[in-house]
């Protein structure tokens, strides 16, 4: 009886267990059915931090920045810009820098890029040329790979880091422009990299779905730009699987179908001179899409964007970010002079390429001066049209040297004493500058701008020089008084504007964006005379869009609109502004303003060498190429003759003194 009851009790306990088992079985069947019906989604990529370590030539030390990375960045089409991938690509480009070979030839600097890619899960590394002495024939690269999965299934991602810093005599290939459809030096290096990628795939038997990721900075950016175009056209990847991000990219090609490479993104500093070469006037462009960083010259809202980048720069380097429009203009003018001397790539190859290469390898003062002399005395290259450019080039080089040594001149106005000469003169090309802009926001619209035009006005004379913008609701004014003091007035929420203005002796400079706002320049003269020089620039070309000058006589004051509209009378709403700033602002009749009408004034000229000569107003001294030849050749001869004369006189004096010297008397003991 007891046994029967126990069995019955056990059966009653098992009923819910059996019911639960049946429920779980049904649930499992439903889950399996759902799994068969619903496509498999890739696991959500986990974000991790990669350590980007690179040597910044401007600071001569290693800098470190942490960059977020996730495999999911490569699950999207390469033909769309992705800001997080651009940031990671900059980390790859900077990590691939060599140690400065000239200072440390025994250091093999592929460890930073290998560590960077290892943190991201890459392996199977192939390092090339990092252990070689940099030369015209070398280009250092690291290639690695990683197995990944996206919505379409598994694929292999091949990453290529190209060295864009510390490469010493690899620079020689930068100067080898040639006269083909592509920059010869960059193309030769790109072909080497392409061969390494294909060999890497073959040696490791990589097949199936493959994607390529390549990035570079400066010279390496130009190489990556070409590799990206070739691999898009001829490689096994296709545009949607070839991820190309380049930074501070020089121009690479004369081909015309560049916009078809929608998967190539070139991030360019507007006032960085490196992306200005080879010259656009020679027909050179870049493959893909150019994205431009802000510049004070072109963007009225530059201070807002600049403030965000400055926070990053200070965290990265320990000092505040800065910019220097006068340094930018000096460097641009050097290129403008070279363009006048060599109006096409053929002339450059014939007359300047060898000289530039020798100046790079023979970087002594004597060697550089000797090469400069050879250029300025080359009668085959110089002619009536471009000989003035040689004089301007001498002034630019000599006066820049004087400014640097004497710590004076206009280029010192925005000088950062906490940074060295290289960091100041090449600030727009420094990797730390690019990194600060790229990490200043996660929204590309807050970083990149498409405004590419600006105006530079130089007024020579004893004047009160003002620049203002007044739109009814917003006002901005900046002025250089007769006393040379620069004053600023911002009202009604328009304090984002920061126009660059400077004075050197009686030369007054204003750099004004041409971004649609109605900027106006006002000049008040003491003696009724002034010379107004005007340049309208586009950052993508060296020759001005428009250039003219006006010699003003017997005019106490005049106004010039810089917004692309006709000159206009001063608005009544500006009454009272003069009192606040201590200026005398009077209304003028329109007839008086016709003197400076851009379309009719007889002083309007084309962008030419003669205008370069006129615009060289900020020079501390005036020196022609003939004067430089005299200084370099005659001055040493005169100095040597003077030294010889002094030696001769000294010897004669010594002999004369010895001749008249009385012999000492000797007393002998008894």
- Give Cβ neighbours of residue 88 (< 8 Å, ≥ 6 apart): 50, 67, 68, 69, 73
Identify whether the C-beta of residue 222 lies closer than 8 Å to the C-beta of residue 285.
Answer: no
**How does pLDDT run across 501-536, given as a tens digit for each residue?**
988 778 889 999 988 887 878 788 888 788 888 888
Q: What percent of the chain has pLDDT over 70?
A: 71
Tell me what the mean pLDDT of segment 84-104 comes to: 86
Tokens at 212, concatenated: 């390529």
Indicate if the pLDDT at residue 420 is higher than 80.
Answer: yes
- Please, which residues bridge with residue 489 across strands? 477
Helix, strand or coil, per DSSP, at residue 536 = strand
**Tens of pLDDT, residues 191-219:** 999 999 999 999 999 999 999 999 999 99
The token pair that represents 26 in the structure block: 């049904």
Is 537:546 a contact under the CB 8 Å cutoff? no
**pLDDT digits 0-9 by tens, 212-240:** 999 999 999 999 999 999 999 988 898 99
Tokens (6 digits) for 254? 């004369």
What residues are paired with 364 via a beta bridge?
none
User: Which comes out higher in pLDDT, residue 120 or 523?
Assistant: 120
Q: What is the mean pLDDT of residues 291-295?
A: 97
**Whether pLDDT at 157 is above 50:** yes
* Mean pLDDT for the stretch of residues 235-248: 94
Starting at the edge strand found earlier in the chain, the sheet holding 453-460 runs 500-504, 507-513, 453-460, 530-538, 546-552, 604-605
Within 248-305, strands assigned E span 264-269, 289-293
Least confident residue range of 29-33, 374-378, 625-629: 29-33
* pLDDT for the residue numbered 640: 60
pLDDT per position as a tens digit, 428-441:
999 999 999 999 99
Ordered structural domains, the chain, with CATH: 48-317 (3.40.50), 452-608 (no CATH)
C-alpha span between 486 and 478 (Å, rounded): 7
The residue among 492 and 28 whose pLDDT is bigger is: 492
With bands split at pLDDT 50, 70 and 90, how would you rate the model's confidence at 445? very high
The pLDDT tens digits for 467-476 are: 877 665 556 7
The dihedrals phi and psi of 632, each to the nearest 5 degrees, come to -75, -35
Read off the DSSP letter of residue 665: P
pLDDT in tens, 645-664: 667 666 666 665 555 554 44
- Between the alpha carbon of residue 287 and those of residues 229, 254, 493, the distances in Å are 7, 10, 40
Number of residues assigned to the chain: 670
Extract the runs of DSSP E, i.e. beta strands, from 255-383.
Answer: 264-269, 289-293
């Amino acid at each position: 009886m007891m046994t029967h009851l126990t069995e019955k009790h056990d059966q009653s306990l098992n009923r819910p267990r059996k019911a639960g088992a049946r429920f779980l079985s049904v649930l499992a069947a439903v889950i399996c059915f759902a799994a068969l019906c619903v496509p498999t989604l890739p696991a959500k990529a986990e974000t991790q931090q990669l350590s980007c370590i690179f040597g910044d030539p401007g600071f001569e030390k290693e800098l470190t920045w942490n960059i977020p990375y996730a495999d999911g960045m490569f699950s999207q089409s390469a033909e769309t810009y992705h800001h997080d991938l651009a940031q990671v690509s900059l980390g790859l480009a900077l990590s691939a820098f060599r140690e400065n070979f000239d200072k440390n030839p025994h250091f093999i600097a592929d460890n930073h890029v290998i560590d960077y890619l290892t943190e991201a899960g890459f392996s199977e590394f192939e390092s090339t040329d990092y252990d070689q002495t940099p030369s015209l024939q070398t280009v250092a690269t690291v290639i690695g790979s990683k197995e990944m999965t996206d919505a379409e299934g598994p694929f292999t991602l091949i990453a290529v880091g190209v060295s864009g810093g510390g490469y010493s005599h690899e620079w020689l290939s930068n100067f080898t422009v040639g006269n083909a459809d592509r920059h010869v030096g960059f193309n030769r290096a790109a072909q080497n990299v392409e061969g390494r990628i294909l060999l890497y795939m073959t040696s490791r038997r990589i097949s199936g779905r493959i994607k390529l990721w390549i990035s570079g900075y400066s010279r390496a950016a130009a190489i990556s730009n070409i590799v990206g175009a070739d691999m898009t056209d001829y490689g096994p990847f296709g545009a949607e699987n070839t991820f190309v991000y380049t930074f501070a990219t020089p121009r690479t090609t004369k081909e015309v179908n560049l916009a078809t490479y929608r998967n190539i993104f070139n991030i360019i500093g507007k006032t960085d001179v490196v992306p200005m070469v080879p010259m656009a006037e020679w027909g050179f462009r870049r493959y893909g899409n150019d994205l431009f960083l802000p510049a004070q010259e072109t963007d009225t809202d530059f201070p807002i964007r600049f403030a965000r980048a400055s926070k990053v720069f200070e965290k990265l380097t320990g000092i505040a970010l800065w910019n220097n429009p006068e340094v930018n203009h000096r460097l641009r003018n050097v290129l403008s002079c070279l363009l006048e001397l060599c109006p096409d790539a053929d002339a450059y190859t014939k007359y300047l390429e060898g000289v530039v290469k020798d100046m790079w390898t023979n970087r002594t003062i004597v060697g550089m001066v000797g090469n400069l002399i050879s250029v300025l005395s080359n009668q085959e290259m110089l002619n009536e049209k471009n000989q003035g450019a040689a004089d301007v080039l001498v002034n630019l080089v000599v006066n820049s040297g004087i400014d640097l040594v004497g710590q004076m001149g206009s280029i010192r106005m925005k000088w950062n004493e906490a940074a060295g000469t290289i960091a100041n003169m090449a600030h727009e090309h420094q990797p730390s500058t690019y990194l600060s802009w790229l990490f200043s926001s996660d929204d590309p619209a807050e970083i990149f701008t498409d405004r590419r035009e600006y105006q530079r006005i130089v007024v020579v004379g004893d004047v009160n020089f003002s620049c203002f913008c007044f739109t009814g609701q917003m006002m901005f004014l900046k002025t250089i008084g007769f006393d040379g003091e620069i004053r600023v007035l911002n009202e009604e929420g328009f304090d984002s504007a920061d126009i660059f203005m400077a004075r050197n002796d009686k030369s007054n400079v204003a750099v004004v964006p041409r971004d649609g706002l109605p900027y106006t320049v006002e000049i008040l003269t003491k003696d009724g005379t002034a010379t107004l020089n005007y340049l309208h620039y586009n950052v993508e070309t060296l020759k001005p869009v428009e250039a003219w000058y006006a010699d003003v006589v017997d005019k106490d004051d005049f106004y010039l609109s810089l917004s692309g509209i006709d000159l206009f009378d001063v608005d009544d709403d500006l009454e009272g502004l003069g009192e606040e700033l201590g200026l005398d602002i009077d209304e003028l009749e329109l007839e008086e303003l016709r003197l400076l009408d851009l379309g009719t004034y007889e002083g309007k000229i084309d962008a030419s060498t003669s205008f370069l000569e006129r615009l060289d107003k900020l020079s501390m001294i005036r020196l022609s190429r003939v004067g430089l030849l005299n200084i370099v050749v005659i001055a040493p001869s005169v100095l040597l003759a003077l030294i010889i004369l002094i030696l001769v006189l000294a010897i004669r004096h010594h002999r004369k003194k010895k001749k008249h010297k009385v012999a000492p008397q000797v007393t002998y003991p008894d």
